Amino acid sequence: MGIMIRLQHSTAQYNCGIVETNNKFKTMNYRLIGRLPKVGIRPVIDGRERGVRESLEVQTMEMAKAAARLISENLRFPSGDPVECVIADTTIGGVAEAAMCADKFEREGVGVSLTVTPCWCYGTEVMDSNPGIPKAVWGFNGTERPGAVYLAAALAGYTQKGLPAFGIYGRDVQDANDTAIPEDVREKILRFVNAALAVAQMRGKSYLSLGYTSMGIAGSMVNPDFFQDYLGMRTEFVDMTEVTRRIDQGIFDHEEYQKALKWTREKCIEGKDHNAPEKQSDRKRKDWEWEVVVKMTLIMRDLMIGNPKLAEMGFGEEAKGRNAIAGGFQGQRQWTDYYPNGDFSETILNSSFDWNGIREAFVFATENDSLNGVSMLFGHLLTNTAQIFSDVRTYWSPAAVERVTGKKPEGLAGNGFIHLINSGSTTLDATAQQRDSQGNPVMKPWWEITPEEVDRCLENTRWCPGSLGYFRGGGFSSQFRTAGQMPVTMSRINLVKGLGPVLQLAEGWTIELPEEVHAMLDQRTDPTWPTTWYVPRITGKGAFKDVYSVMANWGANHGAISYGHIGADLITLASMLRIPVCMHNVEEDKIFRPSAWNAFGEEKEGADYRACQNFGPLYR
C-alpha cells in the first residue's frame, strides 16, 4: 500500500541499498543495515457469518485502506523514503485469522500495528498479542454498529494482559457510509504511527561512543542498560585512537577526501582568530588543522555507517561500520589537548548537507553526551530534520539585559530569554536560512532544501580558530546566530538513580535580538561559538511560571532543540518507551498516551510515572 516515489533531491549517499519494485529498481536513501519498518493495518470484524460478517466486509476493509492512504500520503522516514503499509489479506474475525495476519506481518517486517473496525468484534480473539510492537485501535464512531463498544472491550483486554494500546475514537458520530477520516482521528493516527515508527527504527541499531566520558559530564557516561532496556539499541564503544589510526594509515576514501577538502576551502569561510596574537597558530599549522578535521569527519561517518570504498582498499573490517543511528565524540580533553577539536566534524555531520550534496543529517553528540544524543535522535525521527545541540547556558532577565545594554527587551523577549550556545558544533541548518512557501525561516527535511539555501547557510557561518585555552590542539568552531523567529521544542533525557530515565521538554521560539544587544551579550560568552536566543512558552505555573523557572528546572547542562512544536509527539513516544515526562508545557488536550494510563489516576503527570513503573521498560 506504500506510495513508492523516486526522490528528486537525492545526492551521493553512503551504503545505498537497492530494492526491486514493480520490476524497476529504486535507489534507497536509507543508510543503515536492516529494512525500514512497515505499518501493519488489521481490519477486525464481527466473525458471525450468514449475514452479519458479510454486511461489514466492505466497510471494514475500506477503513483499513483509508488509514493506509492517510499514513502513506503524510509520513516519510528521515531518509526520505515513503512509509509502506501492509493490510491483512482478509478481515479478522477470530483467532485463526489473527494468527494469519501476525504471520504476514512478521514476514513483511511490520513494526507498528493499527487495528481498525466499525463494529463489534470478539475482543481478545482478534487482538494483536505481539508485546514488542506499539499498537493502537481505531473504533469507528457510528450508531449502526457498536465500533465504540468493541474499542472499549479491546482496550480493556490489552490493559488486562499488560499490552498497553492507544485508543482512537472520533468525537463526532459519523454515518455508516461516511468514508472520511475526521480531523481529530487523523491527528491521533498520524501521531501514533509517527512515534511508533521512531520506536521501530531505533530497535536493533547502535549508539557509537567514540571515547567515553568528557570532562566528567554524566550524560557522556554511556549507559548500555538504558539503551538496551528502553530503546532496544546496542552501545558500541570505540577508543578515539581508532580515529588517529585511520588518519595515520590513510584508512579513508582519498578521492572523497580531496573533494571534501576542496569544498571546505571554497565554502567554509575562516573567521577571526580571537586568540591572543602571540598564541595564534601560523598559516601552515591552520592549513594542517583543516586537513585533519576533514579527515576526522570522513572517518567518524565511516565508523557510524561504514563505507564500501574501504573494502576496495583492502580494509574489509573497517568498511562495515557500526550500524549507528546516533553517536558521539568525547573530544575533551584527551583528544583536544593534542589534536584539532571535533567542532567541524560534529557540525557537518549534524547538518543536512556536505561536499556530497544535500542528504539526511546525522545525529552526533558533542562531548559524547549520549543522553542529549538520544534526545536529538527522538527529534530527528519525529520531524525528519537536523537537530540543534546546545548548552542551556544563561538566563537573561529583562533587568539584566537593560543593565548591560541600556535596552529593554520587547516582544517575545520581554520576559527574558535563554542563551543557547555550544563550542561550535551546532547544525548549520540552525542558521535559519531555509524558507517555507511564505518566506518564514524554517528547518526543513533534507529533500525540501534547495542548493541556494545550502549556500546561504554556509555564507552566514564563519569558522573561527578554536580558543586555545579550551582546545590546545586547535580546530575550528562554527560561528553564527540563528536568524529569525522559529517554533522549536527543547528536550532532554536524564537518568535518575532508583527511577530510571525521565524526559523534560519545553516548547518555545527562537528570537532575534537587535544587533547591538546581540553583540554585547554574545561577546560576554565566547564570540567564536554559534548562538541561538530562545524563549520558552510560559504558563504562569510550576516549572513554566516564567522563563527563569524553565532555566532553573532544566535537568542538565545540555538541550536538544528540534524545529516545530513537537511536545505532544515526544510525550506519545516517551509513553511507548515507558519513559515518564517530568516537565512539559503541552496543552492537556493534546496529550496522547495508551488508554491503560487512565487506570493510574486522573492527574496525568503522576499517572504517567505510575504507569511507566508498572509496565516497565519496553525491552526488559
Task: Classify residue 413: in a domain, yes or no.
Answer: yes
Among 606, 562, 611, residue whose Cα is nearest residue 426? 562
Residues in the chain: 620
Q: 14: pLDDT confidence band, cut at 50, 70 and 90? A: very low
Provide DSSP, 421-442. E-SS-S-GGGG--EE-TTS-EE
d(CA 326, CA 361): 10
Give SS3 for 478. Answer: strand
Across the chain, mean pLDDT equals 93
Task: Classify residue 10: in a domain, yes or no.
Answer: no
Mean pLDDT across the stretch 426-454? 97
Alpha helix ranges (H) inside 161-267: 183-202, 224-226, 241-248, 254-267
**10 Å Cβ neighbour count for 83?**
23
Class of residue 415 by CB neighbours under 10 A (exposed 0-12, middle 13-18, buried 19+): middle
Residue 499 is placed in which grid cell? Answer: 527511577
In this structure, the answer to whether residues 25 and 164 fall within a common structural domain is: yes
Q: Are strands 135-139 and 110-117 parallel, antiparallel or unpaired?
A: parallel
d(CA 620, CA 613): 12
In this structure, the answer to whether residues 37 and 81 fall within a common structural domain is: yes
Q: Which residue has the higher pLDDT, 530 or 174?
A: 530
d(CA 518, CA 510): 13
Q: Convert the pLDDT of each residue in 112-145 to its tens digit.
A: 999 999 999 998 999 999 999 999 999 988 877 7
Among 219, 228, 251, 250, residue whose Cα is nearest residue 321? 251
d(CA 195, CA 37): 12
Residue 219 is placed in which grid cell? Answer: 550524560
Task: Classify residue 431: in a domain, yes or no.
Answer: yes
pLDDT of 419 over the 70 cut: yes
Task: Classify residue 396: in a domain, yes or no.
Answer: yes
In this structure, the answer to whether residues 464 and 480 fall within a common structural domain is: yes
Q: Convert the pLDDT of each residue in 380-414 to its tens digit.
A: 999 999 999 999 999 999 999 999 999 999 999 99
pLDDT of residue 16: 31
In this structure, the answer to whether residues 197 and 308 fall within a common structural domain is: no
Describe the chain by its helix, strand, coil percentages, rounded to 5.
Answer: 40, 20, 40
* Contact yes or no for 135/110 (Cβ under 8 A): no
Among 520, 522, 540, residue whose Cα is nearest residue 532? 522
Q: Convert the pLDDT of each residue in 66-109 to its tens digit.
A: 999 999 999 999 999 999 999 999 999 999 999 999 999 999 99
Q: Which segments within 271-404 are labelled E, that is strand?
A: 324-329, 353-354, 357-358, 364-366, 388-396
In this structure, the answer to whether residues 428 and 449 fall within a common structural domain is: yes
Give SS3 for 511. Answer: strand
Q: 220: pLDDT confidence band, cut at 50, 70 and 90? A: very high
Handedness of CA 302, 305, 308, 314 (dihedral sign): positive
* Contact yes or no for 156/165 (Cβ under 8 A): no
Q: Convert the pLDDT of each residue in 578-611 to its tens digit.
A: 999 999 999 999 999 999 999 999 999 999 999 9
* Contact yes or no for 291/261 (Cβ under 8 A): yes
Note if the bond before 333 is cis, omega within 30 degrees.
yes
Q: What is the Cβ-side half-sphere exposure of residue 25, based on CA atoms within 13 angstroms?
A: 4
pTM of the shown model:
0.94
Q: 186: pLDDT confidence band, cut at 50, 70 and 90? A: very high
pLDDT of residue 179: 85
pLDDT of residue 224: 98
Mean pLDDT across the stretch 350-374? 97
Mean pLDDT across the stretch 2-30? 35
Sequence-distant (≥ 6) Cβ neighbours of residue 157 within 8 angstroms: 123, 124, 127
Q: Decide which of 202, 234, 262 is a domain's last residue.
A: 202
In this structure, the answer to whether residues 169 and 277 fall within a common structural domain is: no
pLDDT of residue 501: 98
Rg (CA), the chain: 25
Q: Are strands 24-27 and 18-21 parallel, antiparallel or unpaired?
A: antiparallel
Measured N-to-C along each axis, helices 241-248 and 283-305 cross at an angle, to the nearest 10 degrees, of 110
Eight-state DSSP code of residue 601 = -
Alpha helix ranges (H) inside 275-358: 283-305, 308-312, 316-319, 343-350
In this structure, the answer to whether residues 78 and 190 fall within a common structural domain is: yes
In this structure, the answer to whether residues 408 and 527 fall within a common structural domain is: yes
Q: In angstroms, what CA-CA distances link 143 with 140, 147, 172?
A: 9, 8, 11
pLDDT of residue 147: 75
Task: Classify residue 299: in a domain, yes or no.
Answer: yes
Q: 4: pLDDT confidence band, cut at 50, 70 and 90? A: very low
Q: 424: pLDDT confidence band, cut at 50, 70 and 90? A: confident
Domain count, the chain: 2
Phi-psi region of 281 (alpha: psi -120 to 50; beta: other; left: phi over 0): beta
Q: Which domain holds residue 86?
A: 18-202
Catalytic residues: 367, 391
Q: Decide which of 174, 202, 230 is a domain's last residue.
A: 202
Mean pLDDT across the stretch 328-337? 94
Measured N-to-C along each axis, helices 567-577 and 183-202 cross at an angle, to the nearest 10 degrees, of 50
Task: Classify residue 620: in a domain, yes or no.
Answer: no
pLDDT of residue 175: 85
pLDDT of 3 over the 50 cut: no
In this structure, the answer to whether residues 148 and 222 fall within a common structural domain is: no
Question: Residue 165 sits in a domain of what CATH number?
Answer: 3.40.50.1070
Q: Decide which of 139, 172, 202 is a domain's last residue.
A: 202
Percent of the chain with pLDDT over 70: 95
Residue 56 is placed in which grid cell? Answer: 461489514
pLDDT of residue 527: 85
Q: Convert the pLDDT of each residue in 141-171 to its tens digit.
A: 887 777 788 999 999 999 999 999 999 999 9
Q: 17: pLDDT confidence band, cut at 50, 70 and 90? A: very low
* Contact yes or no for 14/307 (Cβ under 8 A): yes
The residue type of 160 is Q
In this structure, the answer to whether residues 411 and 490 fall within a common structural domain is: yes
Task: Classify residue 604: in a domain, yes or no.
Answer: yes
d(CA 120, CA 602): 28
Mean pLDDT across the stretch 295-317? 98
Task: Classify residue 11: in a domain, yes or no.
Answer: no
In this structure, the answer to whether residues 198 and 210 fall within a common structural domain is: no
Question: Residue 539 sits in a domain of what CATH number?
Answer: 3.20.14.10
d(CA 369, CA 329): 8
Q: Convert the pLDDT of each residue in 226-280 to its tens digit.
A: 999 999 999 999 999 999 999 999 999 999 999 999 999 999 999 999 999 999 9
Phi-psi region of 79 (alpha: psi -120 to 50; beta: other; left: phi over 0): alpha
In this structure, the answer to whether residues 69 and 106 fall within a common structural domain is: yes
